[in-house]
């Protein structure tokens, strides 16, 4: 049995959600971006990114993420 060297998207999504819930938005952002690379059409991940961008005061990026 071999371990997959590339974690599934939900590992990154869950890490991002953990950071988000703890108020660590800057740490959550790259985790959600990694998840999005693996599952680019996920509306849940785009929504989470939009929320983080809003909380960071980055409205332009929030709108772009929400529109996807």
pLDDT band at 6 (very low <50, low <70, confident <90, very high): low
CATH number for the domain running over 9-66: 1.25.40.10
Give the pTM: 0.84
Q: Evaluate whether 13 touches 45 at the Cβ level (below 8 Å).
A: yes
- The whole-number average pLDDT for the span 14-20 is 97
- Per-residue pLDDT of 18-57, as tens digits, reads 999 999 999 999 999 999 999 999 999 999 999 999 999 9
What are the structural domain ranges in the chain?
9-66
Q: What is the structure's pLDDT at 8?
A: 86
Q: What is the structure's pLDDT at 16?
A: 97
For residue 15, give every residue at least 6 positions away whose Cβ sits within 8 Å of its Cβ, in sequence order, or none.
28, 31
SS3 state at 68: coil
């Amino acid at each position: 049995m071999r371990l997959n060297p590339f974690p599934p998207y939900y590992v990154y999504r869950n890490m991002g959600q953990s950071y988000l819930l703890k108020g660590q938005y800057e740490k959550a952002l790259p985790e959600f971006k990694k998840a999005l690379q693996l599952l680019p059409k996920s509306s849940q991940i785009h929504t989470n990114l939009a929320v983080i961008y809003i909380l960071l005061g980055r409205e332009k990026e929030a709108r772009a993420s929400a529109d996807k």
